[in-house]
């Protein structure tokens, strides 16, 4: 094991830029901020007080604050983004926590659609925007609230709600 | 109920105490202000046709007379956390501030941890420690649902907690120790089935060790809150007495928003420091909650 390999059991802070990268394939802070900005229109300033960490291959965590890297702990902030794959994928936790800052690629569901979505069902829906991962919202207590991550392809919104988080709220 | 009879000398209205212990406990939820406001959460609960009763001592805690928290929109959004009403007390007493460094020494499954983070506006640092990986996984999943981002989780015996990854000592520490859980008898009617004095005395040693370590890792002038959900003085006043005698600390007064009585200064053959009266005993008949014990300590110079 040397400094250029990802160690799956500890937290390593993401390098600021590609020039600072020692571990092959590791996302950089700049790339992460750019991805949230380009995909969802989230202003990078939203994450100014956050540090980003990789633990597990490609699994990026967001922590409010900073610590010396690497750090040997069981958890650091919340899971945030899945990298090391062609299409990066935000986590449900990240979308529920930061999705209110998203300005694009957000799809609003009706009550019935939202219930189906959170049960884990895929559904055919109209969507004029980009294919790919969307922030799924519905109305709660008078405002649109981010509920989770959907994957829109071929006229269908696929529910990305992890099995352990799914709940049957259908009447 | 025989176990509880040993506390008859401590309790003014023992019949009311005993009757309360036999009543089931209503479910309660705490609003997670990291993700929403109390007002919006209340509105979402009403829209979901949940019957809720606000408690009079804490603006974000609601009793659910008919429901269990779980399958409704405000819960899946992480706006609510199922938490026994009285267990919302110690974080309020610890009173952590935005930007501070706080340790939750016996953190799983994370109800109080997430409450600490919310009181700090999810800024500063909360270190949550537990020695049980299974319970820590429940804490991790609660923290994800509640969106707690200022949190570092460690698996270790709190008595040997390492400050190394986190640097400076803490401003505040919550020591909500494992205990004989006598005060949870309303929730778990079998809580007393395996009660033995040996267990109480054994766990008291662990509690002393954890409180000692908590005081060691807190800065001078910092605050430690010690709490249990048991009535046994062996696990409450006796543990504090040990800390007063062996660690640089003193008990401080605090306003308890729930009806309570003072900590005791004697139990069986033992005598405790007069300042033990600053600790609070909460019996089930006082506020129609579970039983609880809570004390606030200031860490003094060596």
Is B71 in Cβ contact with A74 (below 8 Å)? Answer: no
Give me A159's structure tokens: 């529910």
Give yes or no: residues B76 and B131 share one domain.
no
Among B83, B99, B132, identify where a domain stops. B83
Q: Tell me which chain A residues have a C-beta less than 8 angstroms from the C-beta of B78.
A: 96
As a whole number of angstroms, the distance between CA B106 and CA B225 comes to: 12
For residues B221 and B100, membership in a common domain is answered with: yes
Catalytic residue, chosen from B21, B229, B249, B260, is B229
Q: Is the pLDDT of residue A59 over 70?
A: yes
Split at pLDDT 50, 70, 90, the class of A1 is very low
B229 is catalytic: yes
pLDDT digits (tens, 9 = 90+) for B36-59: 999 999 999 999 988 999 999 999
Please provide the average confidence, as pLDDT, over all residues in chain B: 96
For chains A and B, count residue pairs whose Cβ atoms are closer than 8 Å.
Answer: 92
In this structure, are B44 and B99 located in the same domain? no
A71 Cα to chain B: minimum distance (Å): 6
- B1 pLDDT higher than 60: no
Give pLDDT, residue A9.
Answer: 77
Q: What is the pLDDT of residues A66-81, one digit of tens each?
A: 999 999 999 999 999 9
Same domain for B167 and B55? Answer: no
d(C-alpha B55, C-alpha B28), whole Å: 9
Q: Chain A residues with CB-CB distance to B under 8 A?
A: 49-50, 62-65, 67-68, 71-79, 93, 96-97, 118, 140-143, 145, 147, 164-165, 167-169
Question: B162: which 2 tokens?
Answer: 């390492």
Task: Please list, in sequence order, all residues whose beta carbon lies within 8 angstroms of the beta carbon of residue B282, skipping any fewer than 6 positions away.
Answer: B86, B89, B183, B256, B258, B259, B260, B289, B291, B292, B293, B294
Distance CA(A93)–CA(A114), nearest Å, equals 17
Kindly determine whether residue B74 and residue A50, on different chains, have CB atoms separated by under 8 Å.
no
Query: In this structure, what are the phi and psi dihedrals at residue A30, rounded to the nearest 5 degrees?
Result: -60, -45
Q: Is the ipTM of this complex over 0.90?
A: yes
d(CA B59, CA B281): 22
> Does residue B289 carry a pLDDT above 90?
yes
* pLDDT at A95 > cutoff 60: yes
Tell me: do B285 and B199 sit in the same domain. Answer: yes
pLDDT at B206: 98
CATH entry 3.30.70.1730 includes domain A105-165? no
What was the pLDDT predicted at B70? 67
β-bridge partners, A11: A71
Of the pLDDT bands very low, low, confident and very high (cuts 50, 70, 90), residue B166 is: very high
Same domain assignment for residues B100 and B196: yes
Same domain, B11 and B40: no
Is residue B151 domain-shared with residue B30, that is, in the same domain? no
Q: Which residue has the higher pLDDT, A7 or A102?
A: A102
Tell me the per-residue pLDDT of B54-92, one tens digit each, with 9 for 90 and over.
Answer: 999 999 999 998 877 668 999 999 999 999 999 999 999
Q: In the predicted model, is pLDDT for residue B284 greater than 90? A: yes
- Going by C-alpha positions, the residue among B295, B273, B267 that lies closest to residue B282 is B295
Q: Are residues B8 and B45 in the same domain?
A: no
Q: Give the whole-number percent of chain A exceeding pLDDT 90.
A: 92
- Which range has the worst mean pLDDT, A9-18, A154-163, B60-69? B60-69
Tell me, what CATH number does B67's domain have? 3.30.70.1170
Q: Which residue of B has its CA nearest to A142?
A: B40
B4 has pLDDT over 60: yes
Residues B113 and B157 in one domain: yes
From B41, B66, B83, the end of a domain falls on B83
DSSP output for chain B: -TGGGGGGGG-TTHHHHHHHHHSPPPEEEEE-TTTS-HHHHHHHHHHTT---EE-SS-TTEEEESS--SSSSHHHHTTSEEE--GGGGHHHHHH---TT-EEEETT-TT-HHHHHHHHHTTT-SEEEEEES-HHHHHHHHHHHHHHT--SEEEEES-GGG---GGG-SPEEEEEEE-----GGGTTT-TTTTTT--HHHHHHHHHHHHHHHHHHHHTEEEEEEEEEEES---GGGTHHHHHHHHHHSSEEEE----SS--EEPPSEETTEE--GGGGGSEEE-HHHHTS--EEEEEEEE---
Interacting residues of B20 by C-beta distance below 8 A, sequence separation 6+: B186, B283, B284, B285, B288
Torsion of CA B112, B115, B120, B125, to 10 degrees: 40
Residue B71 has what pLDDT?
84
Write the pLDDT tens digit of every residue in B100-157.
999 999 999 999 999 999 999 999 999 999 999 999 999 999 999 999 999 999 999 9
Give B65 to chain A, closest Cα distance, Å.
Answer: 21
**What pLDDT score was predicted for residue B302?**
63
Q: Residues B33, B11: one domain? A: no
Q: Taking a contact as any Cβ pair under 8 Å apart, which residues of chain B between 149 and 168 contact chain A? A: 149-155, 165-167
Same-domain status, B129 and B193? yes
Residues A123-156 pLDDT 10s = 999 999 999 999 999 999 999 999 999 999 999 9
Query: Does B175 score more than 90 pLDDT?
Result: yes
Distance of CA B285 to the CA centre of its chain: 18
Nearest to B83 by CA among B6, B27, B125: B27
Chain B residues within an 8 Å CB radius of A140: 40, 44, 47, 73-74, 77
Of the listed ranges A6-10, A121-125, B219-223, the one predicted with least confidence:
A6-10
CATH number at residue B106: 3.40.50.150
CA quadruple B4, B288, B104, B275: dihedral sign? negative
**How many domains does one find in chain B?**
2
Asked if residue A27 has pLDDT above 60, the reply is yes
Nearest partner of A160 among A123, A110, A111, A105, judged by Cα: A123
Band of residue B163 on the pLDDT scale cut at 50, 70, 90? very high
pLDDT reported for residue B69:
66
Which residues constitute the domain of residue B72? Answer: 26-83
- In the predicted structure, residue A2 carries a pLDDT above the cut 70: no
Please state the pTM of the whole predicted model: 0.97
Domain end, chosen from B66, B83, B100, is at B83
Q: Rounded mean pLDDT of B274-297?
A: 97
Other CB atoms closer than 10 Å to residue B14's CB: what's the count? 16
CA distances to A97, A144, B94 from A137, in Å: 12, 6, 36
- Residue A21 CA to residue A17 CA, distance in Å, equals 7
């Amino acid at each position: 094991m040397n400094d250029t390999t990802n160690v799956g059991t500890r937290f390593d802070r993401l390098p600021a830029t590609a020039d600072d990268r020692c571990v092959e394939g590791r996302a950089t802070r700049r790339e992460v901020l750019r991805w949230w900005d380009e995909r969802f229109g989230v202003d990078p300033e939203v994450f100014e007080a956050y540090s980003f960490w990789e633990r597990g291959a490609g699994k990026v965590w967001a922590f409010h604050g900073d610590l010396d890297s690497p750090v040997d702990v069981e958890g650091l902030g919340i899971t945030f983004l899945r990298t090391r794959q062609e299409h990066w994928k935000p986590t449900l936790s990240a979308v529920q926590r930061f999705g209110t800052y998203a300005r694009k690629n957000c799809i609003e569901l009706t009550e019935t659609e939202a219930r189906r979505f959170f049960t884990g069902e895929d559904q055919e829906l109209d969507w004029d925007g980009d294919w790919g991962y969307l922030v799924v919202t519905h109305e709660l207590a008078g405002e649109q609230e981010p509920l989770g991550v959907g994957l829109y392809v071929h006229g269908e919104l696929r529910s990305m709600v992890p099995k352990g988080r799914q709940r049957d709220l259908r009447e | 109920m025989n176990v509880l009879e040993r506390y008859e000398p401590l309790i003014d209205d023992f019949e009311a105490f005993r009757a309360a212990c036999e009543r089931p406990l209503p479910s309660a939820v705490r609003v997670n202000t990291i993700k929403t406001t109390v007002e919006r959460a209340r509105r979402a609960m009403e829209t979901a046709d949940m019957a809720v009763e606000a408690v009079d001592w804490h603006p974000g805690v609601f009793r659910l007379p008919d429901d269990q928290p779980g399958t409704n929109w405000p819960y899946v959004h992480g706006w609510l956390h199922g938490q026994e009403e009285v267990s919302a007390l110690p974080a309020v007493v610890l009173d952590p501030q935005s930007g501070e460094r706080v340790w939750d020494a016996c953190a799983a499954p994370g109800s109080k941890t997430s409450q600490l983070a919310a009181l700090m506006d999810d800024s500063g640092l909360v270190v949550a420690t537990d020695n049980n990986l299974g319970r820590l996984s429940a804490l991790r999943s609660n923290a994800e649902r509640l969106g707690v981002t200022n949190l570092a989780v460690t698996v270790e015996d709190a008595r040997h907690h390492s400050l190394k990854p986190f640097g400076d000592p803490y401003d505040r520490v919550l020591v909500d120790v494992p205990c004989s859980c006598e005060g949870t008898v309303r929730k778990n009617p079998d809580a007393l089935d395996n009660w033995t004095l040996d267990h109480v005395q054994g766990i008291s040693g662990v509690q002393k060790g954890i409180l000692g370590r908590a005081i060691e890792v807190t800065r001078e002038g910092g605050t430690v809150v010690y709490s249990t959900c048991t009535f046994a003085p062996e696990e409450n006043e006796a543990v504090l007495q040990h800390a007063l005698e062996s660690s640089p600390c003193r008990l401080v007064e605090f306003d308890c928003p729930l009806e309570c009585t003072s900590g005791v200064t004697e139990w069986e053959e033992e005598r405790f420091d007069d300042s033990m009266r600053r600790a609070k005993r909460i019996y089930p008949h006082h506020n129609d909650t579970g039983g609880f014990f809570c004390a606030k300590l200031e860490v003094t110079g060596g």
